[in-house]
């Protein structure tokens, strides 16, 4: 009997679309944050900071929609797992938006004439592209219910983690010039933000696997002995 609970299905599909659009918003915000970093564009950085209200608004919108759906439609089985997963996904969207804001807030500290180390900047750029790619992939994996694509995020995250360590070492070895050292310290903070965005994308991937399999498991245990940041 097709067509039953049509209104519920439309509401759930709408909520999922809203949450996944949140990931698109993160990608757009991340692009701006990275561009403002490369161009040392303080005005663009301020736009990134102010624009975070849109992502926060999306979080509240989806969160409220999920509460209403739970209260009014009592979803079960796969529907319930999707709803629970969306609650996590939208939280990760909000966190990733905050990380973009954290990056943008560092840019005015060094000004338009920041003493850039080209090698370090190239590493940041590569890391930014990796993080962006992870967010895009996490969205596709969720939308397509592709657990293999979701788990592949771990591979990309390893690359981000490696770059994060390289950037840290480069910052330590960057020399004695105080302005350069301060800028490099800020770049380690940017790298940390990008690394966290990558982690959030992996978390979205774990929610995809939960929806598909019904079992939640961490793809990689960051808390075990020997795990690297």
Partner 1 sequence: MNPPETKSEEGTRVEASRSEAPQAPAPPRAATTAPATGRRVALEGLHAYYGDQHAVKGVDLIFEPNKVTAIIGPSGCGKSTLVRCINRMHEEITGARADGHISLDDLDVYGDGVDVISVRRVIGMVFQKPNPFPTMSIFDNVAAGLKLTGARGGDLRRKVEDSLRGAGLWEEVKDRLDSPGLGLSGGQQQRLCIARAIAVEPEVILMDEPCSALDPVATLKVEELIAELKTRYTIVIVTHNMQQAARVADSTAFMLDGELVEFGPTQQIFTNPKDDRTEQYVTGKFG
Residue 72 lies near partner 1 (rule: CB under 8 A) = no
CB of 75 or CB of 97, closer to partner 1: 75
Q: Which of 17, 72, 80, 109 binds partner 1 (CB under 8 A)?
A: 80
Residue 225 lies near partner 1 (rule: CB under 8 A) = no
Number of H helices, E strands in the chain: 7, 0
Q: Which of 4, 118, 176, 217 binds partner 1 (CB under 8 A)?
A: 4
CB of 168 or CB of 216, closer to partner 1: 216
The tokens for 22 are 């949140």
The radius of gyration computed from the CA coordinates of the chain, to the nearest angstrom, equals 19
CB of 13 or CB of 80, closer to partner 1: 80
Q: Shortest distance, CB of residue 154 to partner 1, whole angstroms?
A: 23
Q: Shortest distance, CB of residue 212 to partner 1, whole angstroms?
A: 11
Tell me the C-alpha to C-alpha distance, in Å, between residue 164 and each of 31, 60, 98, 188, 190. 19, 32, 19, 8, 9
Residue 76 lies near partner 1 (rule: CB under 8 A) = yes
The rounded distance, in Å, linking the Cα atoms of 37 and 59 is: 26
Q: Shortest distance, CB of residue 51 to partner 1, whole angstroms?
A: 37
Interface with partner 1 (CB under 8 A), residue total: 15
Q: Which of 71, 77, 223, 228 binds partner 1 (CB under 8 A)?
A: 77
Residue 64 lies near partner 1 (rule: CB under 8 A) = no
Contacts with 49 (C-beta within 8 Å, 6 or more apart), sequence order: 101, 104, 105
DSSP state of 82: H
Where on the chain is the footprint of partner 1 (CB under 8 A)? 1-2, 4-5, 8, 74-81, 214-215
């Amino acid at each position: 009997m097709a067509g039953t609970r049509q209104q519920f299905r439309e509401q759930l599909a709408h909520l999922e679309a809203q949450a996944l659009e949140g990931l698109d918003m993160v990608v757009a915000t991340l692009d701006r944050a990275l561009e403002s970093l490369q161009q040392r564009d303080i005005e663009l950085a301020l736009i990134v900071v102010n624009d975070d209200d849109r992502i926060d608004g999306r979080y509240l919108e989806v969160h409220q929609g999920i509460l209403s759906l739970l209260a009014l439609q009592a979803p079960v089985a796969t529907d319930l797992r999707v709803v629970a997963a969306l609650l996590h996904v939208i939280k990760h969207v909000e966190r990733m938006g905050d990380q973009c804001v954290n990056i943008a807030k560092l840019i005015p500290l060094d000004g338009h004439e920041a003493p850039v180390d080209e090698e370090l900047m190239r590493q940041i750029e590569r890391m930014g592209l990796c993080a962006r790619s992870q967010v895009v992939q996490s969205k596709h994996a969720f939308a397509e219910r592709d657990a293999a694509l979701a788990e592949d995020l771990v591979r990309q995250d390893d690359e981000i983690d490696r770059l994060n360590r390289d950037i840290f070492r480069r910052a330590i070895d960057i020399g004695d010039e105080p302005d350069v050292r301060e800028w490099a310290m800020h770049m380690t903070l940017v790298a940390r933000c990008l690394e966290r965005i990558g982690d959030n994308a992996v978390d979205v991937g774990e929610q995809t696997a939960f929806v598909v399999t019904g079992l939640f498991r961490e793809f990689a245990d960051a808390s075990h002995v020997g795990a690297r940041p």
